Structure 1
Amino acid sequence: MDQLLQWLLFPGILITLALSTVFSFKSRRAADARTRGIQAARMNISMGGMLLFIAAVQLFLSAESTLRIVIGAIFIVIGLFNLFAGIRNLSIYRSMAPSEQTHR
């Protein structure tokens, strides 16, 4: 069971890390505010997923200790916050009309 979790969680961490990096670079290089916001929201979603994967590693693949459980719980809370904030921001920026870009 641990081997299966390792084969699922570690690639998940690496994929979301790569996506966070790509979206971060795209966000910083974007010319307009709408594109910048969309890329930043995607980065937050990816980062939230990465933190959830890391929390799963802490909770399921490590020796059980109070410190690991607390760290895993903190990562879950921060990851869920990033995930939901990214989804909210993505919906806001996608619904923004091109004429509203300059009013940010």
Structure 2
Amino acid sequence: MESFIFTVLAVFIFISLLFSIFYSVRSRQMKEPVKKGIIGGKLNISMGAMLVFISAVQLLNSNESTLRIILGAIFLLLGLFNLFAGLRNYSFYRNKEQQHTQS
């Protein structure tokens, strides 16, 4: 059962890594600031999810060492911060885009 959980987490880490790479490349290609902000928000969300999944692997590992718990907690905090910042930026720029199209 434990190996199944770690396999699922590894798949989620890999998927969020692919999204992070995809949005990073797209963000660098965008010229319009509003669309770049939307893509940047999605990038932060995918990076935050990846860090949360990495922290879950660290915290759920059976040999609980102090270093592993500290690293898991740091990754969890960074991941949650990235998720929050990404959601905030995404909603801000999405509203800005909708206001621009209505004008």
Both structures adopt the same fold (TM-score exceeding 0.5): yes
Q: Corresponding residue for 1:79?
A: 79
Q: Corresponding residue for 1:18?
A: 18
Residue 95 (structure 2) pairs with residue 95 (structure 1): yes
Q: Corresponding residue for 1:33?
A: 33
Residue 70 (structure 2) pairs with residue 70 (structure 1): yes
Amino acid at match of 1:12: F
TM-score, normalised via structure 2 length:
0.91
Task: Give the SS at the match of 1:64.
Answer: coil
2-structure distance, mates of 1:75, 1:92: 25
Task: Give the SS at the match of 1:98.
Answer: helix
Instruction: Report % sequence identity.
Output: 48
**For structure 2, which runs of at least 5 residues remain unmatched after alignment?**
none
Q: Corresponding residue for 1:102?
A: none
The range that moved more, 21-30 or 59-68, is 59-68
CA RMSD between the two structures: 1.2
Q: Corresponding residue for 2:5?
A: 5
Q: Deviation digits for residues 55-92 of structure 1, max 9, x if unmatched? A: 01111125210110010000000000000000000000
Task: Give the SS at the match of 2:31.
Answer: coil
2-structure distance, mates of 1:4, 1:91: 35
| Runs of 4+ deviating beyond 3 Å | none
Residues 36-55 of structure 1 mapped to structure 2, 5 A cutoff = 36-55=36-55
Task: Give the SS at the match of 1:38.
Answer: helix
Instruction: Tell me how many residue pairs correspond in the alignment.
Output: 99
**For structure 1, which runs of at least 5 residues remain unmatched after alignment?**
100-104
TM-score, normalised via structure 1 length:
0.90
